[in-house]
Structure 1
Amino acid sequence: MQASVKADHWRELFWQLVRFGLTGGAATALYAIIYWPLATYGQERWPLAQRSTWPLIANVLGYLAAMLSGYVMHSRWSFRGVGERDNLARTGGRFFIVSLVSFGMNTFFVWLLTGPLHGATWWPLVPILFVTPLVTFALNRFWVFA
């Protein structure tokens, strides 16, 4: 009986990770759709800021869109059936904090890879797609929606 309970727990955790990946993938795609064109072509179109600041401006705009859509998708689908949903202030506040962690990580990747390392504007998308989601899944699963 105990083995069955453990198997059910791991199966549910696996499917949460799959749902998180799909939902997070959609939010990350939205981020990338906003970030990359603005970071790459923003200076040409709107020369109000220095070229080096456009990736950071694009990062903020992409983050805001991804955070808002991500909260709705994660709370309604990725982590459905986990924890309590009656305290929006609690889950919303914690989700916002995790989003700030995610934002900080992504901003660091954008700054490092397009600034000091003089990389292409697409370089930050690699760690943004593969590192940040693992950290945010763990925080969302075990703290926000626990």
Structure 2
Amino acid sequence: MATLQTHGRIEQLRALFWQLVRFGLTGGAATAIYAAVYWPIATYAQARWPLEHRSVWPLIANVLGYLVSMVAGYVIHSRWSFRDVGARDKVSRTGGRFLVVTLVSFALNTFFVWFLTGPMHGATWWPLVTNVFVTPMVTFVLYRFWVFA
């Protein structure tokens, strides 16, 4: 009996591990899409404007990058990363919860962009570090245990 329980637990951990791997690959792709939209706009548009208007461009770039990566992320996460979790017949529940997590994720990224390029006077690439390492950890937990559960 204990062997069956142990085997079942190992299978759950194995499934969670591979789900995390799929999430990492998908999240990496969504993050690369975000970065490909964010960084050029934040960097080059900012350089073309007078000094007093430069701080707004990283925030505009953040919104644009996030919108593009959000659409790609939903499609790939729902069909691949979390394909083994929960029922897929509740698109309205999943879609609504995905939107809430996306807004939380967007708020985190926006805060990092604002704080690091604004008050910290950092380079436009600084927020990419937090957006690649901090935000994905938060969103994985929310997606796994709330959105696609």
TM-score normalised according to structure 1 size = 0.96
Paired residue type of 2:21: V
* Equivalent residue for 1:105, pick from 108, 119, 137: 108
SS in 1 for 2:126: coil
Paired residue type of 1:74: H
Distance of 1:27 and 1:111 partners within structure 2: 21
TM-score normalised according to structure 2 size = 0.94
Distance of 1:115 and 1:56 partners within structure 2: 10
Unaligned runs of 5+ in 1: none
Indicate the structure (1 or 2) with the bigger Cα radius of gyration: 2
Distance of 2:46 and 2:38 partners within structure 1: 13
Distance of 1:128 and 1:18 partners within structure 2: 18
Render the CA deviation track for 1:26-79: whole Å, top value 9, x for unaligned: 0000000000000000134577x9110000000000000010000000000000
Distance of 1:25 and 1:59 partners within structure 2: 17
Query: Which residue of structure 2 aligns with residue 58 of structure 1?
Result: 61
Unaligned runs of 5+ in 2: none
2:17 aligned with 1:11, yes or no?
A: no
* Equivalent residue for 1:89, pick from 89, 92, 101: 92
Distance of 2:75 and 2:28 partners within structure 1: 14
Query: Which residue of structure 2 aligns with residue 121 of structure 1?
Result: 124
CA deviation after TM superposition for structure 1 residue 81, in Å = 1.5
Query: Which residue of structure 1 aligns with residue 136 of structure 2?
Result: 133
2:24 aligned with 1:25, yes or no?
A: no
Percent identity reads: 71
Superposed CA RMSD in Å reads 1.3
Aligned residues: 145
SS in 1 for 2:30: helix
Render the CA deviation track for 1:65-99: whole Å, top value 9, x for unaligned: 01000000000000012101101110001001000
Paired residue type of 2:140: F
Paired residues of 2:94 and 2:147 also in contact (CA < 8 A): yes
